[in-house]
Structure 1
């Protein structure tokens, strides 16, 4: 297939693109480039790129593609809470416009990166895709709204699929440090302490970035009638754990000390997830990575590539990176590229082209 991957220079996209290419697909990326140079270790190979803000995509940009894999988003709760209006503009409104434009352009399949955080405060019972959705943050609310609006577009010629990913973990050359396993492992490697600022009791479902990529590949290649309009939880029940259990696993792998400060109190986001529907609908997909394996991979990668505390806090933390791009004049208050930044990037591209 000829596939457009939005957010291809993000944490998940950097892992997903090579897998799709390996499976024989032709891939083009679409990205603003906010995190293009936020690399730990060797820089990944790049596919052809549409350098576009998601809010500026038109039907003409999408003609000729068989599928869109939509990963691009403002992708964490602190950023969404800081700028809820912009979060909804990008994550909800622009995503729905993208899906409509894709359908109008003749794109047949639209894979959407949703999240298990749509379940919110679901408690200790493992929830299925039919469970009530209780999103607690602007980020999670935006995901629910996209699912509702894009599901209405499904027909014989347009197949949207909603992959509700568990919380991601694992190494990617474009690292994210602001997700729980990656963060706790970095703390262990850099300080010898695994610091948990909640009380450690909330449940979290976890899934490795490579397993997410494999699930998207399976959904891309599955018969359309099998997946059309489906929401699927992506992960494995073996990785339904509490934050305290994650900390203990990281400590065992790294030899670090667990410190639960509890300064943030009890996190209301607590949920366990049932992943049996994905096993039935996507039998080609199997989640292979456990939390211990991921912590080992992360610790080895952090040490091998020389992760520093400064890079962890700034280059690999979403909120800090975007705030810095605003401070230096790359992004305006609405998170659009400034005119000066656009002119500079155009000049640099011409110089190196």
Structure 2
């Protein structure tokens, strides 16, 4: 297929594009490229792309790109960044996604894969939640995922087939590394300080999935028969990969030599607490073959941080923490308060 990937230069997109290309797809990108100065070890793969704000994309743009499917990843990518300005999260993650979906349908593009999140389960407790579980989002980011899914379902029909891929919390090495997600963060602390630093009390549950396994799930959904996935949600992750944060810390301490587990000064309970069931995606999409475990991912990260020379200064800087880089761009006048280039 010819596939448009929005957010193709982000943490997930920069790893998904090569996976799709390796499976024979013709990929074009769409990204505003906030994180152009944030490469880790290697730059994202170069490909034909529309460099634009997702808020400005029209049906005419999509018609010119002549794609068969849209994979929509572009968003303010985590809770701290979306908390920077909840209205921006509403504008970019919600309103722009709704307009993109409507434009996709108007342009006659049938397949639309939406990068949703298990964070929409919010306060889930100890029960493993399947795709029919109640939504309990506790952040603007989680709420935006709920509302986009709900809208997409209302416009699904014979001409437009959306799919909702609810990713578990991602981890793993990427060309556009993020150190502000839990596994990557804990390993970076260990690599640079000799301590695994917990910012919560360690009790919350998190489902975890490697960035390459997410890419594999999107590829499997892209290639699946429409009737198997039309207007359906899939939790993206692996059975057995739900962890309490303190268990992740113990794995990191076991992998990184001479490393101790400690708690940050403001460590407190985290209201985001959920376990997830991943049986549906393995049943409906047998082409999805996850290969990673958290331990394997920690070992990968530890090796990459050593090879890449990760230092305390690098870890404390803006390059690998999305909120810090956005704040840097704002302070430099590169983007305005509306996060548009050159509107300061």
TM-score interval w.r.t. the shorter chain?
over 0.9
Equivalent of residue 262 in structure 2, options 259, 262, 265: 259
1:192 equivalent to 2:163? Answer no
Residues 239-278 of structure 1 mapped to structure 2, 5 A cutoff: 239-255=241-257, 256-261=259-264, 263-278=266-281
Question: 2: distance between equivalents of 1:33 and 1:188?
Answer: 29
Q: What do residues 134-193 of structure 1 show as CA deviations (whole Å, max 9, x unaligned)?
A: 000000000000000111111112110000000000000100110000000000111110
Residues 243-322 of structure 1 mapped to structure 2, 5 A cutoff: 243-255=245-257, 256-261=259-264, 263-313=266-316, 314-322=318-326
Do the aligned residues in 2 keep the contact of 1:31 with 1:53 (CA within 8 Å)? yes
Do the aligned residues in 2 keep the contact of 1:4 with 1:68 (CA within 8 Å)? yes
Residues 63-212 of structure 1 mapped to structure 2, 5 A cutoff: 63=63, 64-212=66-214
Give the structure 1 partner of residue 339 of structure 2.
Answer: 335
Give the structure 1 partner of residue 8 of structure 2.
Answer: 8
Offset of 1:109 from its aligned partner?
Answer: 0.5
Give the structure 2 partner of residue 219 of structure 1.
Answer: 221
Do the aligned residues in 2 keep the contact of 1:198 with 1:262 (CA within 8 Å)? no
Question: 1: distance between equivalents of 2:260 and 2:117?
Answer: 31
Do the aligned residues in 1 keep the contact of 2:336 with 2:343 (CA within 8 Å)? no
Give the structure 2 partner of residue 323 of structure 1.
Answer: 327
Q: Which segment drifts farther, 37-46 or 156-165?
A: 37-46
Q: Considering only aligned residues, what root-mean-square deviation do their CA atoms show, in Å?
A: 1.1
Question: 2: distance between equivalents of 1:142 and 1:117?
Answer: 10
Q: Which segment drifts farther, 77-86 or 309-318?
A: 309-318
1:43 equivalent to 2:63? Answer no
Structure 1 gaps of 5+ residues are 341-353
Question: 2: distance between equivalents of 1:76 and 1:261?
Answer: 20
Question: 1: distance between equivalents of 2:265 and 2:182?
Answer: 15
Question: 2: distance between equivalents of 1:99 and 1:337?
Answer: 23
Offset of 1:339 from its aligned partner?
Answer: 5.2
Question: 2: distance between equivalents of 1:305 and 1:293?
Answer: 18
